[in-house]
Amino acid sequence: MQFADETKASHLLQNVSYYRFSGYWYPFLAVFVDSAKHRVTLAKISEELSRSDEEFIMSFKSKYTNPFPPSFILLEITSFGALSRLYENLKSGKAKKDIANLFCLSDKVFASWLHSLVYVRNVCAHHARIWNKWLQVQPLFPKHTSNIWLIDKTVSNRRMYYVLSMIIYLLNTVNPKHTFRQKLAALFAKYSNVDKRAMGFPADWDNEPLWIV
């Protein structure tokens, strides 16, 4: 908080008490679980902001002195990893649940999915093998969801089949007309010698409603 006259503010707080005043700043307290982790995340975002040469970022810097733009601007240049950490570090509550509810998931499941996607993305970015890899970050299974999800609950959440199913599930909300399944089908056809079972695909995977185009 900033005060135009800190001496006067200190005097008032000591003599009048801050109890009533605290009601105004209450919505800004207790937002993140770990303040130290939040500072690290903000430092990473600040680095990304300083490196950005996007026109809308340059325009903001030329007009305002705020250290960060509004979130709807800042998240355009924020890495997926930082976004995942921001969400994971949010305290449990309405805001965190509302975000997950957009995908008909619990906040714990949604946080684990984001973490898993960041992990897979990083493996791919370093050109490591992914198709038959046992994944070290395991996304949670949704206990219930009103959206179309996997009928077979025995599939492994440490294989790419599960992650690909997650991506389809999320895309069905973000962009119902996506062509992700068609693109995968084209890849499977092009590389027919690749054993999908090594990716965790069950025998009747193409009968799953989630995977039917």
Which segments of the chain have a pLDDT < 50? none
DSSP H helix total and E strand total for the chain: 10, 0
Q: How does pLDDT run across 33-57, given as a tens digit for each residue? A: 998 999 999 999 999 999 999 999 9
SS3 for 151?
coil
Structure token digits, residue 86: 């921001």
Query: What's residue 48's pLDDT?
Result: 94
Query: What's residue 28's pLDDT?
Result: 67
Q: For 106, left (φ over 0), alpha (ψ -120 to 50), or beta?
A: beta
The domain segmentation of the chain, as residue ranges, is 92-213
Please state the pTM of the whole predicted model: 0.84
Query: What's residue 138's pLDDT?
Result: 94
Which residues face 32 on adjacent strands?
90
Q: How does pLDDT run across 179-203, given as a tens digit for each residue? A: 999 999 999 999 999 999 999 999 9
Separation CA 157–CA 134 (nearest Å):
9
